[in-house]
């Protein structure tokens, strides 16, 4: 299995632009999570899905952030408009049967908003 | 409130010496506890997990952790550290299926020769 695949690995964009981060979970995994990692705040849960349905989006910072999971093999996290304070590493993770097997993380997308 | 505290931001250990990374949690239900490791520029890799049963759990790369309910702790240990263990280590807590993991802020491990 190729693991959790995130794209792009790096993204540099100008303030005000739309940014879309992509994630392909491991086949057969029914949970998908989006986390954001910064030096100041560590790893923060943004949103997670179960069977493609959003379960908890209370960690999404504000209306500029949105996430979708149109099918079991693809999810997107969109920021529109982007701001410099959105600069962070965004991780996608997937799991099977909730927590029992732990999460498998992707390699992350490093977002820089200038 | 549910939380994870890793008191040590940065630890330096000599190669071959023993290691203990501390983790304290606050969780309202029966906790499921995890340790992950992150190498620079990489995602997080699962080291070990505790759900129930024996309070001493073994993981990959020679790591182990001990769950102490009375102290709300889940400390990570390794008897002899290798230079390749230098990385950032995260403790995490969660509950039943359908909840998400809450992570600590991590401890950076440096290994000196």
pLDDT in tens, B27-49: 887 889 999 999 988 889 999 99
Contact (CB<8Å) A103/B45: no
Q: Residue A60 pLDDT more than 90? A: yes
Q: Rounded distance, CA A109 to CA A36, Å? A: 10
Quickly state the pLDDT bin for A61 (edges 50, 70, 90): confident
Task: List CB contacts of A35: < 8 A, sequence separation 6 or more.
Answer: A43, A44, A45, A46, A90, A91, A92, A93, B103
Residue B108 phi, psi dihedral angles, 5° rounding:
-90, 125
Q: Rounded distance, CA A108 to CA A5, Å? A: 9
pLDDT in tens, B8-20: 999 999 999 999 9
Contact (CB<8Å) B102/A99: no
pLDDT in tens, A25-41: 999 999 999 999 999 99
For the beta carbon of residue B38, count every other beta carbon within 10 angstroms: 21
**Testing the interface with A: which of B100, B103, B106 to mutate, by most A Cβ within 10 A?**
B100
């Amino acid at each position: 299995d190729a693991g959790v695949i995130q794209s792009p690995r790096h993204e540099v964009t100008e303030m005000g632009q739309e940014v879309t981060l992509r994630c392909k979970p491991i086949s057969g995994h029914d949970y998908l999570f989006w986390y954001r990692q910064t030096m100041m705040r560590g790893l923060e849960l943004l949103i997670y899905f179960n069977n493609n349905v959003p379960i908890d989006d209370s960690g999404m910072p504000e209306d500029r952030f949105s996430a979708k999971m149109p099918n079991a093999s693809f999810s997107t996290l969109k920021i529109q408009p982007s701001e410099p304070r959105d600069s962070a590493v965004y991780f996608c993770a997937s799991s099977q049967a909730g927590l029992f097997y732990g999460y498998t993380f992707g390699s992350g997308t490093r977002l820089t908003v200038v | 409130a549910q939380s994870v505290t890793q008191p040590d931001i940065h630890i330096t250990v000599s190669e071959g010496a023993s290691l203990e990374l501390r983790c304290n949690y606050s969780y309202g239900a029966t906790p499921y506890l995890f340790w992950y490791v992150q190498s620079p520029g990489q995602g997080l890799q699962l080291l070990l997990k505790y759900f129930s049963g024996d309070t001493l759990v073994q993981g990959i790369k020679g790591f182990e952790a001990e769950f102490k309910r009375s102290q709300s702790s889940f400390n990570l240990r390794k008897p002899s550290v290798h230079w390749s263990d230098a990385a950032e280590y995260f403790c995490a807590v969660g509950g039943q299926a359908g909840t998400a993991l809450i992570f600590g802020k991590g401890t950076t491990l440096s290994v000196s020769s």
